[in-house]
Structure 1
Amino acid sequence: MQMYAVFERIAARLVPGTGGATHRPYLPLGAFEQYVKGLVAPTPAAQERFLEQARQQVTADDRVLLALWDLYASQGADAKALAAAQAVARNAPLDRQARFSSALSMIALRRYNDAFAVLQALHGETPSPVLSNAMGVIQLRRGSTPQTGLPSYFFNRAADEAPDNADYLFNLGYAYARSRDVDAALYWLREEVRFAPADGEAHLLMSQMLTIAGKKVEAQREFDLAKQLGTGQDPDALALTDAVPAGLERLVGRLDLRPHDRVNTAIANPAQREQLELAAFHVARGRRLFEQEDDRASANELRRAIYLRPYDDEPHLLLGRIYQRGGRLSEAIDEFRIAVWSRDSAEARVRLGEALLDSGDRPGAREQALLAIALVADHPEAKALLARIGGKAP
């Protein structure tokens, strides 16, 4: 087991304070080899073969069993996934995750009562927003009453437990949308897009709620942005309507998720959220940090600005440039699309065109360059982009 000792020493140097931590029993090397091969195998069939070989050597190891659960759940083999999760012993280190995974499999198998009982027991032991959210999903799917607990109750509890998680905010807004509570749905969906401004499904739901409220101009703007950002629905079948589709609720698959950026902690007073001065301060800091190529700190400042003013174009433009510089082209394109939607400008069109060109979409890039020139005939960057693509201004 000398190999394990070497890796423990490396881990202790990389993460100070872990050297004296208690560790679980080592996997036998043969089982460990099959386990690792199963994690990195290129096809599901190969993954299953290696992981099942590991399981034969360590029949009750929770790491191997949960790796099998992940595999089977991703393939839609929910009965096999459930069996793997339920094989984890109650005293195993990953018992809590295993029981949650079994509840997710029960949800997929429509065994809602069994799943709810498991989640309720887990939440009684240690509360978690992931559990509250899953309970809300069950109530949304199986139907509920105020006596059994409405979906909005559980989603609201999840949002209280993790107030900056966009998925919980989306689910809360979606639950109100399903019950046609327009004001509550719009409130929570607007809160959600502060944290996830490129969430096309949230903008689509907002367009539907605004349609019900009779605000046709605002509804059309949200609908247009949703189409630009993309949703889980067929884009050709999308139409501006007041019909709220079923099946948009979001499940979170792991209990140990922690937010990496807690935007709320950076905003001391909720009353400041709508102040233009505070948003401008964060944009100015973000711009300076961007120019200094401190992209991580700059992105954090810009996200704070977007939280305060989600429909200002400048922070989206700068954040898009950070993503583009880091090679995160799909995220950059989303930010530039929001910037165009917020305020149609030649600069935003050029930035979007450059990102599209970097991603290989030459026709899309050309379209954006021409639209920029239509806005500002002598725009030098638009002309330069068009020259890169291979063409000239009309």
Structure 2
Amino acid sequence: MWRRRGAAGLLVLALSGTAAGCTDASDDGQDAPDATGVLADLASRAAHTMTPVPGGAVLVAGGCVIDGCGSATRTAYLLDGGEVTRVPDLARARDAHTAVALADGRVLVAGGFPAEGEPALSSAELFDPATRTWQTTGAMATGRGGHVAALLADGRVLVAGGWVGPGRFTASTEIYDPRHGRFEPGPPLPQALDGLAAAALPDGCALLTGGRTRADVATRTAVRVCPDGRLHRVPPLDRARCKHAMVTLDDGRVLVVGGTPDDRRLLVSTEVYDARTRSFSPGPDLRTGRYKLAGSVVALPGGRAFVAGGGKGAEVVDVPAHQSTLVDAFSGEPRSFSTVGLTEARVVLVGGYDEEIRLTRTLRSLPVAALPGEAGPDQAPE
């Protein structure tokens, strides 16, 4: 049972029934417990982030909080075991931002949008899970949202691409140095991109793939950006795709999932990048086409990945077995910009919106051991 405990200004969340509308969880009201798996205050959001912190908890930060996603929130929570605890607010309301766990356990949150029609943010802030406090840090040179970020081997963070204005994308990259609390210029991308994906590689570099060069036009481009500040091209993707996802598997390979070539067709194809050969090969097809997958894929043991959002329900992609299996416990209507994380050996799915951009308050969780592959029998979500 997920619950909310309040102390010293913290709110306590409980499973509750669905209420009309969406809130930013700014009051101290208590929710009546219910067994429906709905968590009104926490999960009525989309385009938020979920980031692991030391001790097994997951930080949920920001997101849009009204139907239509016209306004972002400053609220943040920790999911820890069976508890959901309110932590201090972000300094700026933001959605479509990035959040990366640093080597010292802190979380870097950067960029995003404060509201529909407002300029992208250049600001960044750090969450310290030890003190449960936020601290502003150096800003990016370029305000951006819908960008990507990845941790490099030397502990710095690469930020790349994104939307910088109406119909305008950027090719710029920046590298955050946590030792000095500032961003430095990185190598430019081959072209201005939005909707690309990023993943950390075993060699300490970051892999960037796909994205769109303009509305409805995706690219096959793939590059590596390394701690030495250099950008290296690698053979392109088999399919042009944007609004896809990538995740580094436990064997060091990178799984590229879904996306769209033109904002109309949803791809079922996946690709697998091998860092040793620096090449892509076909992966198992998804059971349903998916896109708008940022934050919706998480690696599982045994070369598997849990994929949720961007399409109906959820599935487990098993790369060694070259198959994908739907997860009945997560069946439901299509959800975009939902976010998935791991906490205490459970997958947790939070929020998202439907095809009419109506937000959901649903929080669903399931033991990793109950998922297809290296798993036991199915269990219903709690």
TM over 0.5: no
Give the TM-score taking structure 1 as reference length.
Answer: 0.29
| Larger Rg, first or second structure (1 or 2) | 1
Of Structure 1 and Structure 2, the greater strand share is in 2
Give the TM-score taking structure 2 as reference length.
Answer: 0.30
Of Structure 1 and Structure 2, the greater helix share is in 1
Point out which structure has higher relative CO (alpha carbons under 8 A, 6+ apart): 2
